[in-house]
Structure 1
Amino acid sequence: MRSKREKEGRVGYSFIAPQPKRILLKITRIWLFYVILTFGILLFFVGFLQMQRDYMLKSALESEKSKQELLVQIAALKSEMERVRFEKSFADDLRTQNGMLSESVKNLFELIPDQITLQAIEMERDRLTIKGITPSKEIYSFLLEVPLRSIFHESRADFYALPNGWFSFVSVSRLKEEP
């Protein structure tokens, strides 16, 4: 019997049956798989590092923005703190001046003798004006003018006679301005 090849007119010179040949050997396919896998892992790692870098840059920008906002808030708080300190200092000065003024008014009323009747008192920073009625110029001079002269640098009084024999007076006492 003749083989199929012989019938077709082809004769082979091999003693074994032909085997199919592959372009890549099995070991080459394994080696190529691992090379591609390695490149895939490297690309994944590079992508991961790129994402981490982008995240860090975004985080740094947000931190810088937050820092700038906090610096603005700190500046505003410092300004507010300075204003509050100034207001506190101003309030303390007012409290001290009011206490001194209250004490001065109290001392002034203790200074006025019973024989003299006051009609008006005007206190300014460097001047005191007293208007009142006295039975005589001497009572005013001895009981009120002497203490006023010891407190103020300049003290002057003008008297006006009243129909009942008493005197109306206007006393202006001044402190010297210190340079």
Structure 2
Amino acid sequence: MPYPADTVQSRITTALGDVRLAASARGLVGLWFDGQRHQPLAALDGPAAWPQAPGHPVLVEAARQFSDYLAGRRVRFDLPLDLGSGTPFQQAVWEALCGIAPGATVSYAALSRQVGRPLAVRAVGAAVGRNPVSVIVPCHRVIGSGGALTGYAGGLERKAALLRLEGALASRTDALPLFAPAAAKALA
């Protein structure tokens, strides 16, 4: 995906693992957990990597709000987003994701109907998986039609932990494993 030329990045450590944040002059363009599928690896590391800018105002605010969210002090994000790296179809799906309330879940089929493409469940699923702003654009709130936790680029354990944090998934430890012991204590 093409990102703005002025994109900068920073890294934060969370109970769910290290996170890369990226922003342009227009807003937040990325939030990826280390090891997450579909992250722009060449832009995050190596000789062509985006410059580090931990003091960038959008990155500072994104780090603060994300930390507050994981600590249970915030349920909604108030950040400028720059989702221009996606196709018009992807952007429509990502916009629909932003409408899923904290603590709620929707199926991929229901999301497909919501974006006016009821027969494009797989394409909608692919767009959800390519969401560059994990958690802030709440792709973790999309589940399988039967209620199964499926398809999260950051890993199903993280998806389960995020849904538990929001109260959308029972906190029974026998349902699904928590991400890690430290995360279990922080998110319980």
Q: Normalising TM by the smaller chain, what interval?
A: under 0.3
* Bigger relative contact order, structure 1 or 2 (CA pairs below 8 A, ≥6 apart): 2
Q: More helix per residue: 1 or 2? A: 1
What is the TM-score with the length of structure 2 in the denominator? 0.19
Larger radius of gyration: 1
